[in-house]
Each structure stands twice: as structure tokens, then as C-alpha cells.
Structure 1
Amino acid sequence: MTPADLAALLRTVTMTVVRDHGLDDTVVPETVVVERPRHADHGDYATNIALRIGKKLGVAPRDLADWLADAFAATDGIAKAEVAGPGFVNIWLAAAAQNSVVATVLERAADYGRGDDFAGRKINLEFVSANPTGPIHLGGTRWAAVGDALGRVLAARGAQVTREYYFNDHGTQIDRFARSLEASARGEATPEDGYAGDYIAEIAAHVVAQVPDVLDQPDAQRLETFRSIGVDSMFDHIKTSLHDFGTDFDVYTHENKMFTSGLVEECIGELKANGNLYEADGAWWLRSSNFGDDKDRVVIKSDGDAAYIAGDIAYYKDKRNRGYDLCIYMLGADHHGYISRLKAAAAALGDDPASVEVLIGQMVNLVRDGKPVRMSKRAGTVITLDDLVDAVGVDAARYALIRSSVDVNIDIDLDLLRKQSNDNPVYYVQYAHARLSALSRNAVDLGLTMSTAHLDLLDDPAEGELIRTIGDFDEVVDTAAELREPHRICRYLEGLAGAYHRFYARCRVLPQGDEPAGDIHAARLALCDATRQVIANGLDLVGVNAPERM
């Protein structure tokens, strides 16, 4: 019985108890909260339902808890129920009900943890979207890992997810990039506002190899040659780096398209027509303060050029035109102002602001030998995705970037991530899977097969802890999708690995010596196979390998 199954059962029983006492059953919530107590002697699970609804029913919570505890204890699948404190009810499951989770995992296999909570939702998930003027830096690398994991989690719960990269190929930063390439090709110093690093020299040489007479071309043509070939070359490198990192996109949208397609002009016309764009001081302003922004925003500057937000408005409109009911933007730490302005843009176009979600990711710092790592030879001034992967590998890099909430700055210890020890979180989880895989191979060598026929024999406290942790997985994935927090998967996996290691230290799975194989061995092997499956499912959701040997 999973926590979700137990919650549904407790709701049904609670409804019956309330009705039997002549009370209003409409106060019973749709979801009964079920939690794991901090201390094992307080039961397998606990609920606060009596505290939530007692006063609404005109009944002391403690009295209601007494009624519920009696009814719960008399319910199939529940071995015991006791009242605690002012109205909590602690619950012990019957062995057969608790251990049925093992059979459920083995039956559902790779589908365990998947659901249909988001079925029918069409979600556009835009992340990374770094300018094609240099390699992906650490901030973008964090989003490459977290964004891909979030897409996997949302899809696992039934959403139709499109991973999208917004290709910023319009604006002054591209001109600076082209001038930097030209300066490098001429052997000149980097322009004051330009880009530096070994990659600039490499791309400049590539442009010259493609167009040998590029430096003899007229000014405008020469700059366009460096721009077009240079941007394509840089973006090819970005896509390759992301692919090698395990992050691929379904759609690449060019910012320049927003202008060349006429969509910017279309949006401006729509906003003028509905009164949400007004003229003042020679410029056109969005009435964004009417929709929760801290001030109105210039859309068309007084010189007639479009401000950056013009492209943002058109891009949002483009997404909605493609049928997405939720647009998630994953942006860097310096983009807090975009939350209110993007929601205001949606509202000004007549949409529900809830169709826009903006996630802000905080900074990443690398540490080696206890000291910050600050320089990349290739990029010149920043650490890149390629640098991190070269240092610790894809799995360790992805896991380290995903396992913390994006709301906090993180320090990545390169020395720690290279260690093959339990101090290294990704090694700790992957080692548990490899250990379980070895156990399965050894069982085959002994001619032992797992069986779910005698799961009732699994009554050791360590077995119960492991089974209940397995049972939590579905709810963990659901919460990770609902809150857009894939780091919950990593933290869960570390807890599951810990529960397995404690179980293994206490409970012998395979017979030793001349000991005959018995039902308990087959049942424990089933528990181990279920644990291995859940670890594999969880690692897949964060895009990390589940090795069978380490």
C-alpha cells in the first residue's frame, strides 16, 4: 500500500465515521494528508485529519481522533492505530498491505513513478537559451541539467512537454561577437566591448578557412560574413556540448524570427488596439503596471527601435499560437524583473498570467582543494559546461547541479565528485544500484529466483523502512512535477540508497554456505529487485546512468 493508497483509504473511512455520527461529510477534504513519523515507534504513517476538520464539525479534535483510530484499526490492511498528542493518529500497516508495494513495483517496472496528473497539459519548457557568443557557462550548465530533468519529470506525470531553446541571434551582442572575430582574424586586440578566449581565435580561423578573402570584403559584407558563419559555428558547438551532456531540445526558435516574421509588429498593433500600449515622450509604453509589474515598460523607443521586451512579447505570443497552455521560462539569477514583466505581457494580450511561470536559478561556484576555481582557458573569463564535464564527467556534473534547489547558490566540490566514496552523493546512489545488480547476478548463479508469494515474511524493521521508502517514490515524483523541483528526486534517491544499505547490513538476502534457499530469501530478493528498479527509474528522471558494475 503506497501513501497515496493509504490516503484514499483513510478518506473513505473518515467519510463513513463522520456520517455515522450524523455530521457534515462535506468538510472532509479531497486529500487526507499522510506522513512518515520521525520516529519508527510512532507508527508507519500518521495523519492530522482530525486536527484539520474537528472544529469544523464541532467536535474536539482529540475525540474525533479517537473515533477515527478505532475505525482505522478495524480496516483491512491496517494492523493498529493510536491517537497521539492533540489529535494525530499514528498508523501501523498490516504486513501484507505494506509489502504489496514490492509486487506493485515489480509489476509496473519502468512505469513505476509515472502517472497522469498532468495529462492533457501542453507545456513549453524554455531553458538555457544562452547567447551564441560563447560556450555554455556554469549558470547555463545548471539549467541544462535542471531543465532537462524537469522536462523528464513533467513528462513522467503525463504532460506533453516541448523543450525549447531561444536562439538570441538579434541585437548588439551579435555585432560585438562579429567584431571580436574580425579583430582576431586580423591579429588585433579584442575590442573593448568584445569577447575573448581561445574559442574566438578558433572560430575566426574557421571563418577565414571557409571564406579566404573575407578580410578583403566591403565593411558591411565582411561583418555579416563573420556574423553568420561565426554564429552558426558557435551554436553548433553549443548544441554538441549540450547533446554530450545528455540535454537535447525539440525546438530551436530564433529571436530574429520574431522581427522578420512580422510578429513583433502584429503584437504592437494588438496592444495599441486594446489600449495596453500608449505613447509618451516619443516612445510607446506597455501598461505593465496595470498587471502587477512595478512600472510601465518601453516597447518602442523614441528613436523607433524596438526595446528588448518587444521580442519577449512576440515570443510569448508565438508560443501561445503554437497551442501551449503553460509556458515555463528558466532564467538566470539576474532576471528577477522578468517574472512580473512576462506575466504582465501575457495579461496585456488577454491571457491568464498563470500561463507564464518563471523559474530563477542562482549561481554555481566551483571549488578545488578548498579554493574557488575561476578561470577557463577556452572561454577566457568563465567556467564552461565542457570544463565541468572534463573535470568530473557527465553523471557527476548533472547530479551535482540537479540535487539542490535552484533557489540557492551552490558550491560544487570537484575533489568530492571524483571520490569513489559514500561522501560523493552520485557515487552513493549509483553504487547502491550496482550493488543490487551484482546481487541479482549472484542469485542467478545460485539458481535462486525472486518471488512475491511470501512477502508477508518481510517483517524486520529494516525491511519495513526500505519498503515504505520505495512506496514514497510515486508521491515524490508527483510533488517534484507539481512544484517544478527535480532536486527532490535526487534527495529521495539518497534516502533510498541509505535505507537499502541499512537493510543489507541487517538482513541476509542470499543463503550462505550449505544453507538451503528458503522463502525468505526469495522474498528479500524480490525486495532487492524492486529497490533496484526504483533507483533506476529515479536516476532516469534526472538523466543519470544506473550502472550495473562499478
Structure 2
Amino acid sequence: MTPEELSLAIENSLNEALAEGQLELVEGADRPQVKVERPKNRDHGDWATNIALQLSKKVGKNPREVATILSERIQQIDGVTKVDIAGPGFLNIVLDAAAAGELAKTIVEAGKSFGTTTELEGKTINLEFVSANPTGPIHLGGTRWAAVGDSLARVLEASGANVVREYYFNDHGGQIDRFARSLLARAKNEAAPEDGYGGEYITDIANRVLEANPGALESEDPQEAFRAAGVEFMFGDIKKSLHEFGVDFDVYFHENSLFENGKVEELLEKLKESENLYFKDGAWWLKSTDFGDDKDRVVIKSDGNAAYIAGDIAYFQDKTKRPENPADLAIYMLGADHHGYVARLKAAAAALGDDPDMVEVMIGQMVNLVKDGKPVRMSKRAGTVVTMEDLVDIVGVDAARYSLTRYSVDSNIDIDLDVLTKQSNENPVFYVQYAHARTCAVARNAATAGVERTAFDASLLDSDADSELLAVLGQYPNAVKEATNFREPHRVARYLETLAGAYHRWYGNSRVAPQGEEEVSDLHRTRLWLNDATRQVLANGLGLVGVTAPEKM
């Protein structure tokens, strides 16, 4: 029995209690949704629900009285062995072995769809992440967003959303000018500008510009020649690095297009009619303090020109008004120095007449590499920062993606290169991938021994190891749901580590292939179902974090 099936059965029990008058909602009260979860202490049962606590005030009864009414009905559900009332009104539910074991068959038959939902079906989510300026290779912060952003996109898609992965290509402003001056100086064999960029990649890009356009230095506007070609080469390198990291985007949006096609100017006139803007000291101001900003922001300067935030507003409007895939929700994944943007972007939505909740902003913290107990501070290629290529060269794509995704984005993280290069259980990605490889090895050995998934007797899955593994497998849909609702794909990675641990323990206690002269039995066949169910969930979960599921290691 899956947690969803049990929740539905309890929901039906509640409906019956309401229909028969045992429980009556007070006027105006809404009915809470039934949810089940695993108790922290497995001795308390297979599943628990706090529906009695949620209902008590809504039906005018104390929680234990509600729990008593519901427990008598839940006890009648097929597959439920026992229902206990704990504490102020928690319901702890024990399933019989057959009901619990059915989950293995359910997972295998569901295959890749196990854990997916239609909760976000019909909703288009624009997910903007990485968006590194095309002035150098992607640094570790951008690498973290690449891993987390792509994983979040996969999680949202698993919940039914139509996700548009978007890269905001910043090709407008002072940083691009500094990049162009740096390339030009390098081509002339001059020192880099004081505010310019260093590193071997500048030499590489400058040489490529000259190779493509040998007359660039003698052109009418050399800086523009190096800017245009240099940005194109640099962005091509960024795209290539991301693709090799397993990350591709549906939309590459050029910031410059907002200014070239007149969208910003057109928007400025429209914004003057918004109640969220006001005129003061010759300028137009956005009431961003209404949304938590520390001060209101100028949108139209006193000279009539657009302030930087005008581009942000125009960009949000573009996302939500496109002919194809207009966003119902826009999620921005920004760096640690962008806290102020949360209020500004919500205020921008309000200024356009949209719901501020159409905007979500995720702020990511810093990443540090550690080797031999000391921080790794510099890249030879980039000159000042460690890049995506540096990390991948040392540990590989899978370890890099997994290690960056398994932490909450709210936390600063230290990536220990010594751990990630180990082929041992100390390395979390190895631990999880090895569990998947082990399930494949078990299946191969079973096939050699003549064990097939022909018979299935769920009641045979009655050992403690079986119960523990089934319990963890049952938590996968909720892990995906929480990762979706909280925008936290690290919950899937952490779940996989728990599942890997349960499987490794089960493996040590449960033989799938017969030993010696032992004949193949239904116990062996049923255990193969459970082994293969674990393989499926490991593969599904690894897919959501963008990491391969190897069959051999």
C-alpha cells in the first residue's frame, strides 16, 4: 500500500464519519487534507497522521475524541493491522506484511512514473538560473546554480509543470565594456586595464578574435570589434561547458534586446499610470518598500532615462506575456549579493498589475573548494576564481553535480575534493551510485540462477530488513513533493542516501539468488521484486538530480 493509497483510504473514512454525523464541521470551517508520514520511531508503526489534531477545532471536539472516532474506521481498512492513538491525538498505523509489501510490485509496474504527480499540470514555470555574465568562465557559484537549477527544473517537471529553463544573457553595460577593453589590451600586448579581467582565457579569446578577424586591431572601432566577437566566443564557451555539465536551456534571453526593440521606453510610459509608481524630485519611483525593500527605487531618472531596474521590469513583462509559454510563475535563482532583488522584483510585478506572488526569488550562498584541509582559491585559466571546468576536471560531472545539489542553497558549503575522489562509502555520490550498481548486479546474478519476477507474495516480505527498505521506498513520493513545494532538490539527494543505506543493509540480510543446491522459491522471486523496486527508485531519484545511475562500478 502506497502512502497515497493509505491517505485516500483515511480520507474516505473521514468522509463516512462526516456523512453519518459522527463528526460535523462548524460553520465556515474548511476540511484539512489527510496526510500520512513515517513516524520517527518505527516502533510506533508504519505510518502516522495528525488529521485528528487538525480537525479538532473544526468539529468542536478534543483531538483524542476525534482520533477515537477515526481510529475505529481506519481499523477497518484492508491491510491495516492496528491503529494506536498517541500523545494528544496522533494516529499511528501498522500495516500487515502483505499490504506493506505490495509497494514493491507497485513501484516496478509504475517504473519511471513512480513518484511523479500531476500537481502542477497546466502551469508554466519560467526558471531562470546561472545567467553568468559572458565576461569569463562560470565560477563555482554559477556552477552551483547550474546543478541546483537543472535539478529543480527536473523536480518541477516530475510534478507536472511545464518548465522553461532560461538564461539571462547580460550583454548590456559596463562589465561588457571592461571585458572588451581587456581583450583589446591583450591583443596589443599591453597590460590589462586596472578594472579589467585577467587569466589565460582572455589571451585565448583575444587570439580567437584575431584569428577570425585578422584586421580587428586596424578596424574603425577596434574595441567594438573585440566586444562583439569576444562576447560571442565567450558565450559559446559557457554554453559548451554547461552542456557538458548536463545543463541546457530553452531560452537564451539577450538583455540588449530590451533596449534595442524599444520595450523599455514603451514600458516607462505605461508605468507612469501605475499606482505603484510616484513622481518625486523630477524622477519616477517604484514603491518597492511596500514589498520589503529598504528604500524605494528610481525607475525613470530625472533626465528621463531608464534606471537599471526598468530593464528588470521589462524582462518580467516579457516572461509573462510571450506568445509561447507565457509564465504563470517566474522563479529567479540569484547570488548571495542579490537579496535586495526579492522586494524589487515583486514590486515590479505589482507595478505591471500582476500578482507579486508570481515572482519567487531564491538566493544561493557561497561555495568553497577544500583539498588537504585547505581552501583551493585560484584557477590557472580564470586567474582569480575556481571554475566549473576546474571542479569537473578533478571529480567528474556526477560528483560535482551531486555534491552541489545535496545541500540547501541557503547554506555556505565546503566541497572536500579528497572525499569526492574516493571510491568509498565516505563519498556520498559513490554510496548512492554503488547501491544502484549493486541492485543491477543482484538482478544479473538472479537471472543466472533462474530467478525471475514470475510470482509475487507480498506476505513473504516480513523481515525487519524488508520492512525498513519498504518504509524508505514509501517515502520517495513525499520527498519529491517536498522538494517541489519548498523548491529544495537537496531533499531528493538526502533521501537517496537514506535509501542507499537501507538497501545496503537489506543486501547483507536477504539473498535473492539461491545458494548451493537450494531451489528457487517464491521468496527469491518476491525479493527480486523488492530489489528491482529499489533499483527503480534509485534511478528515478538520481535522474532528478541529473546524475547517472551506473549498472556496474
User: How high is the TM-score relative to the length of structure 1?
Assistant: 0.97
Unaligned runs of 5+ residues in structure 1 are none
Give the aligned partner of residue 45 of structure 1: 47
Q: Which amino acid aligns with 2:530?
A: L
Would you say the 8 A contact 1:405–1:485 is kept in 2?
Answer: yes
The CA deviation string for residues 411-437 of structure 1, in whole angstroms up to 9 with x for no partner, is 100010011111111000000000010
How far off is 1:291 after superposition?
Answer: 4.7
Question: What are the residue-to-residue correspondences of 1:56-455 with 2, within 5 Å?
Answer: 56-218=58-220, 221-322=221-322, 323-451=326-454, 453-455=456-458
**C-alpha displacement of 1:304:** 4.5
Q: Which string of whole-angstrom CA distances, capped at 9 and with x for unpartnered residues, describes residues 32-59 of structure 1? A: 2312112222111112222222344333
Q: Relative to structure 2, which stretch is displaced further, 281-290 or 347-356?
A: 281-290
Structure 1 residue 543: deviation in Å? 0.6
Question: Displacement of 1:360 after TM fit?
Answer: 0.6
CA distance in 1, matches of 2:196, 2:302: 27
Match of 1:10 in 2: 10
Q: Is the 8 A contact 1:291 1:348 kept in 2?
A: no
Q: Residues of 1 paired with 2:438 and 2:519: CA distance?
A: 23
User: What are the Cα deviations for residues 180-206 of structure 1, in whole angstroms up to 9, with x where unaligned?
Assistant: 001111111111111111000111111
Q: Quote the offset at 1:311 in angstroms.
A: 1.0
Contact 1:167 1:255 in 2 (8 A): yes
Give yes or no for contact 2:370–2:415 (8 Å, CA) kept in 1. yes
Matching of residue 457 in structure 1 with residue 456 in structure 2: no
Give 1:514's aligned amino acid: E
Q: What is the number of equivalent residue pairs in this alignment?
A: 548
Partners of 2:504 and 2:25 in 1: CA distance: 44
How far has the Cα of 1:14 moved from its partner? 2.7
How far does the alpha carbon of each residue in 1:72-129 deviate from its partner, in whole angstroms, 9 at most, with x for none? 2222120111122222221101222212211111111111111100001011111000
| Aligned pair partner of 2:516 in 513, 520, 523 | 513
- Residue 20 of structure 1: how far off its partner (Å): 4.1
Contact 2:139–2:388 (8 Å) recurs in 1? yes
Distance 2:140 2:550 in 1: 26
Deviations 1:427-486 (A, max 9, x none): 000000000101111111112102452122111121111112112211211221111111
Query: CA-to-partner distance for each residue in 1:259-296, whole Å, 9 max, x for gaps?
Result: 00111011101101335444433433223334543322
Q: Deviations over 1:271-330 (max 9, x none)?
A: 013354444334332233345433221123345543221111110011011121111110
Letter in 2 for 1:504: Y
CA contact (8 A) 2:100 2:458 kept: no
Match of 1:492 in 2: 495
Could you tell me which amino acid in structure 2 is paired with residue 257 of structure 1? Answer: S
> Secondary structure of the residue that 2:552 maps to in structure 1?
coil
Separation of aligned partners in 1, 2:270 and 2:104: 57
Contact 2:121 2:160 in 1 (8 A): yes
Answering whether residue 543 of structure 2 is matched by residue 532 of structure 1, we say: no
Q: Are 1:472 and 2:475 counterparts?
A: yes
SS at 1:459 equivalent: coil
- Cα pair 2:133 2:171 within 8 Å, conserved: yes
Query: C-alpha separation between the residues in 1 aligned to 2:201 and 2:236?
Result: 13
- Percent identity reads 61
Paired AA for residue 129 in structure 1: S
SS of 1:432's partner is helix
C-alpha separation between the residues in 2 aligned to 1:439 and 1:547?
A: 14
Deviation at 1:11, TM superposition (A): 2.1
| Cα distance change of structure 1 residues 40 and 273 upon mapping to structure 2, 3 Å threshold | closer
State the one-letter code of the partner of 1:200.
I
Moved more, 53-62 or 347-356: 53-62
Which amino acid in structure 1 is aligned with residue 80 of structure 2? I
* Distance 1:25-1:15 versus aligned 2 partners, 3 A rule: farther
Secondary structure of residue in 1 paired with 2:336:
coil
What CA distance in whole angstroms lies between the structure 2 residues aligned with 1:432 and 1:357? Answer: 36
Distance (Å, rounded) in 1 between the aligned partners of 2:59 and 2:140:
54
* Alignment RMSD: 1.6
